[in-house]
Structure 1
Amino acid sequence: MPITLTVPEGLLSPEAEARAFSQLTEALLKVNQLDGNPFMEPNVVGTLNVLPKQHVFSGGKPAPAVFIELKLPPIALATPEAKQAFTEAATSILEKAAEGRVKRDHIWTNVVYAAEGAWGIGGRAYSNSELVDAIQHAAAR
């Protein structure tokens, strides 16, 4: 479940970057009721993109803004309530991490779903049912 966090330079301290990414990971796992799952925890991965200030835009103009994109299997954040819970948590996490340097309405989340059978981990493509089986098997251990 890759997370891509994009921020302009100077918006977050290096410590806040690491803390925010960790908290986004925790929020994603919690909302999906997978916190503590030994299969999923190491498979929530991601990147932090810190761009020059003039390369981050809102309304076509450079602006302090944050973009959080998730690439998920269709079984994750599957309900409107789960999407809302993650969006609220992610927005609060980044708003706090930025310490007033970004307005709440300049924090966006986006979810992109992988096609059936296209979720790959460790060189293996998983169908939705295989992914659910792997998660459940790990939880049963």
Structure 2
Amino acid sequence: MPITLTVPEGLLSAKAEAEVFAELTRSLLGIAQLSGNPFMTPNVVGSLQVLPKNHVFAGGKPAPAAFVELKLPEIALARPEDKQAFIEAATAAVERAAEGRLQRDHIWTNIVYVEEGSWGAAGLAYDNARLIGAIQAAAASPANA
């Protein structure tokens, strides 16, 4: 479940970059009720895109702004309240990480759902049933008891 965070250079310190990604990951897993799941935890991945200041726009003009994009299977965060919870958590995490250098109204989050059967990990395509099975099997593994 990739998370992409895009920010202009100078917005986040190196320490804040790592911290915000850890917080986004914890938030997603917690909201999805998958915290500690040995299958899902390592499959929440992401990238940080730090662009030159004049390459980040709001209202058609260069501006300090941040964009969080989450891609996941249709079954994840399917309830409106889960989407709202992730958007709130992501906004708060980025706002804290920016340490006053970013206004809340310049943080945008979107959730993109991948087509059924097109979420992949380790070379395997997962449809909803296979994904649920992998999550449940990992949770039931004796190593996790």
Superposition TM-score, scaled by structure 1 size = 0.99
The CA distance in 2 between the partners of 1:42 and 1:99, in whole Å, is: 28
The alpha-carbon deviation at position 34 of structure 1 amounts to 0.4
Q: How does 1:6-17 map to 2 (within 5 A)?
A: 6-17=6-17
The CA distance in 2 between the partners of 1:43 and 1:60, in whole Å, is: 35
Structure 1 residue aligned with 2:108: 108
Structure 2 residue aligned with 1:70: 70
* Residue ranges of structure 1 left out of the alignment (5+ in a row): none
Structure 1 residue aligned with 2:133: 133
Deviation by residue 1:38-97 (Cα, 9 ceiling, x = unmatched): 000000001000000000000000000000001100011111000000011111111011
The CA distance in 2 between the partners of 1:120 and 1:99, in whole Å, is: 35
Deviating above 2 A after TM superposition, structure 1's stretches of 4 or more consecutive aligned residues are none
* Residue ranges of structure 2 left out of the alignment (5+ in a row): none
Identity of aligned residues (%): 70
Q: Would you say how many aligned residue pairs link Structure 1 and Structure 2?
A: 141
Deviation by residue 1:96-141 (Cα, 9 ceiling, x = unmatched): 1101111001101011111011011111101111101100111112
Superposition TM-score, scaled by structure 2 size = 0.96
Q: Aligned-pair RMSD on alpha carbons?
A: 0.5
Instruction: Please state whether the residue corresponding to 2:30 is helix, strand or coil.
Output: helix
Instruction: Please state whether the residue corresponding to 1:67 is helix, strand or coil.
Output: strand
